[in-house]
Amino acid sequence: MALRMSTLFLRTLREDPSDAEVPSHRLLVRGGYVRRAAPGIFSWLPLGWLVYRNVERIVREEMDRAGFQEVHFPALLPREPYEATSRWTEYGDTLFRLRDRRNADYLLGPTHEELFTLLVKDLYSSYRDLPLSLYQIQTKYRDEARPRAGVLRGREFVMKDSYSFDIDDAGLDRSYEAHRAAYLRTFDRLGLSYEIVDAMSGAMGGSASEEFLAPTPVGEDSFVRCTTCGYAANAEAVQIAPAKPVDATAVPAAHVEDTPDTPTIATLVDLLNSREDLARDDRPWAAADTLKNVVVTLRHPDGTTESLAVGVPGDRDVDLKRLEAAVTPAEVEPFTDDDFAARPQLAKGYIGPGALGAEHGIRFLLDPRISDGTRWVTGADVHGRHVVDLVVGRDFTADGTIDVADIRDGDPCPSCDGTLTLARGIEIGHIFKLGRRYAEALDLTVQDEAGGQITVTMGSYGIGVTRAVAAIAEQTHDDAGLCWPRSVTPVDIHVVATGKDDTPFDAAEAVIGELEDAGLSVLYDDRRVSAGVKFNDADLLGAPTIVVLGRGLQRGVAEIKDRATGDRTDIDLAEVATYLTDLVRAG
Ligand code: ATP
Ligand code: MG
């Protein structure tokens, strides 16, 4: 195949699109790979679609190799199965809902656990039919709150989703491992670097779950890795070791102090350290001695709301993503001025345990570091006043604990005495031991050996196919443009002919003919524009090998440039096709 730039449906852009926040989005739009059709909704142009199809092909080949069978479900789905699993409600605003002409409710599938479960229930009835793994590669719809970064987070996107069906947990373990192994092969072939991290499994009601994250600074997920042991987890899933209770018999009684103009932790700590009567004998006061209470509103899927206060040591913040993950499917909303007005016992900036807790209609949960017997400086529920030496368990109790404070580089590892490093990544895949939640909700049982009925045990496994295209771009691009790995590049070779007369163009045609005969795909810049424009476009478009037919022709050579390394080699014109064919076949 040879695509000619003079006729190719492509316009590269010199300027960055104004709404592009991350390099992959910028470059995929500038390179004419995708175009925005609506917020979070994209059209794929010829070069983009070639890359997309390569990614899709690799994903499919690895699923097939693992013995999973491909099916294809509709994207337009009836409400009832999602009602049965509560997800019609739990998905909240993320679900695209619609009505047909008879006023029946439908949705555009955000993921398909329900439909797969029902199909297997429809056709299978015996333990002898299992294990089974089915998959599809299909367009999904989610009305994301923050569609962002181009195809990285779309409202319409393609996912490969698989589902496994087993008679027991041991079977699920095997199916899960088979998917994990297939994912390793898939992401390796896609040229992605990735980390496998523990993920939250609470929301879907399953037991174990891991995410594949492609590390990049623009990733939306934060994850940690231990410097000593093998621990790695999405920051959402990190559970710190709860602090042990301490003895508080020597702590003086709590006392309220005037602390004017101390709305922030820093101003409070400065004031404490400037007051001789409050001096500690062991060390100066620190932010970690203060208890900060953050109040938010939780909106539950059924529309009801609830106030929640989270107490964290003052040197930490509540991490919104960790909080959202901990309370899902409820959504977190900031406490507004109206909310404060409705709860006059809360003195903004000086909120203490005295105004919190079930008796005040505000559920109060503490960070696990705040154990019984620990002493704190915290708000006295009056503007300009704080309470000192307030002891947990002695002076107040909370309604429970919640582990949602931010995780920091250098924090202790929860599973050994090492420390954690923090980085960011893009979630490219997610594997999940679902257990029996969906099978129970939709009554998927099979007959067991003894003739009884057993509920089927399921797993679900996703890969973001369109997201993977952008993740690859994100990890491989450089300042000049895209830089595709051979496995997914839209074309094997980008041929550039430069010069005013026909010689380089004739030479290019000859080389391209040979490359096509050898089965290589070629993008040929046959435009009569300046060499500079062509070189810039070749760098922007990112084919792994660029062949220049220009000045070198006088010496009988073509110049071969490796897009990724920038290395250049002159090759005799007669050898070019063989040389390039070997290069491409070597992978
Ligand atoms: P995220 O946390 O990024 O919203 P998720 O955990 O909701 O993703 P899953 O339900 O696990 O996503 O979906 C499986 C895979 O589908 C994800 O690992 C990701 O690669 C991809 N994916 C999910 N949402 C989107 C989206 N809005 N746009 C593109 N790809 C997506
Ligand atoms: Mg996920």
pLDDT level of residue 145 (50, 70, 90 thresholds): confident
Tell which atom from ligand 1 comes closest to the C-alpha of 147: 27
DSSP H or E run through 421: strand 420-435
Spatial neighbors of 359 by CB under 8 A, at least 6 apart, are none
State residue 17's pLDDT score: 86
Q: HSE (CB half, 13 Å, CA atoms) of 509?
A: 5
Report yes or no on 297 lying in a domain. yes
Tell which atom from ligand 1 comes closest to the C-alpha of 220: 3
Number of Cβ atoms within 10 Å of the Cβ of 251: 16
Say whether both 294 and 362 belong to one domain: yes
Say whether both 351 and 387 belong to one domain: yes
Return the SS3 of 190: coil
Number of Cβ atoms within 10 Å of the Cβ of 348: 12
Number of Cβ atoms within 10 Å of the Cβ of 200: 18
Structural domain containing residue 302: 255-391
Output the average pLDDT for the chain. Answer: 94
Say whether both 461 and 578 belong to one domain: no
Tell which atom from ligand 1 comes closest to the C-alpha of 199: 6
Give the residues across from 258 on adjacent strands: 385
429 ligand 1 Cβ < 6 A: yes
Number of Cβ atoms within 10 Å of the Cβ of 493: 26
Torsion-angle region of 357 (φ positive above 0: left; ψ -120 to 50: alpha; else: beta) = left
pTM metric for this prediction:
0.91
State the distance from the centre of ligand 2 to the C-alpha of 117, rounded, in angstroms.
Answer: 19
State residue 201's pLDDT score: 66
Say whether both 361 and 292 belong to one domain: yes
Of the listed ligands, the closest to the CA of 111 is 1
Do the beta carbons of residue 442 and residue 82 sit within 8 Å? no
Most confident of 14-23, 74-83, 376-385: 74-83
Say whether both 175 and 34 belong to one domain: yes
Q: HSE (CB half, 13 Å, CA atoms) of 138?
A: 20
Tell which atom from ligand 1 comes closest to the C-alpha of 144: 27
State residue 241's pLDDT score: 87
Torsion-angle region of 537 (φ positive above 0: left; ψ -120 to 50: alpha; else: beta) = alpha
Q: State the sign of the Cα–Cα–Cα–Cα dihedral 280, 281, 287, 292.
A: negative
Best mutation site among 138, 427, 428 for ligand 1 pocket (most ligand atoms within 8 Å of CB): 427
State residue 159's pLDDT score: 98
Do the beta carbons of residue 542 and residue 532 sit within 8 Å? no
Rounded to 10°, the helix 465-476/23-30 angle is: 100
pLDDT in tens, 476-485: 999 999 999 9
State the distance from the centre of ligand 1 to the C-alpha of 265, rounded, in angstroms.
Answer: 37
- Taking the C-alpha atoms of residue 475 and residue 55, their distance in angstroms, rounded to an integer, is 15
- Whether residue 202 has pLDDT greater than 70: no
State the distance from the centre of ligand 2 to the C-alpha of 432, rounded, in angstroms.
Answer: 9
State residue 109's pLDDT score: 96
Say whether both 36 and 180 belong to one domain: yes
State residue 206's pLDDT score: 59
Do the beta carbons of residue 37 and residue 43 sit within 8 Å? yes
209 ligand 1 Cβ < 6 A: no
pLDDT in tens, 432-463: 999 999 999 999 999 999 999 999 999 999 99
- Whether residue 298 has pLDDT greater than 70: yes
Neighbours of ion ligand 2 (CB under 5 A): 430
Lowest mean pLDDT among 119-123, 273-277, 424-428, 531-535: 273-277
Report yes or no on 409 lying in a domain. no
Cα-to-chain-centroid distance, residue 115 = 24
State the distance from the centre of ligand 2 to the C-alpha of 429, rounded, in angstroms.
Answer: 7
pLDDT level of residue 92 (50, 70, 90 thresholds): confident
- Whether residue 205 has pLDDT greater than 60: no
Give the residues across from 43 on adjacent strands: 35
pLDDT in tens, 540-581: 999 999 999 999 999 999 999 999 999 999 999 999 999 999
State the distance from the centre of ligand 2 to the C-alpha of 542, rounded, in angstroms.
Answer: 30
- Taking the C-alpha atoms of residue 150 and residue 469, their distance in angstroms, rounded to an integer, is 11
CATH number at residue 556: 3.40.50.800
Of the listed ligands, the closest to the CA of 221 is 1
In the chain, the number of structural domains is 3
147 ligand 1 Cβ < 6 A: no
- Which single residue is written with the structure tokens 């490219």? 428
- Taking the C-alpha atoms of residue 29 and residue 25, their distance in angstroms, rounded to an integer, is 6
Say whether both 382 and 462 belong to one domain: no
Report yes or no on 514 lying in a domain. yes
Number of Cβ atoms within 10 Å of the Cβ of 102: 5
- Taking the C-alpha atoms of residue 140 and residue 76, their distance in angstroms, rounded to an integer, is 10
pLDDT in tens, 7-53: 999 999 988 888 888 999 999 999 999 999 999 999 999 999 999 99
Do the beta carbons of residue 84 and residue 441 sit within 8 Å? yes
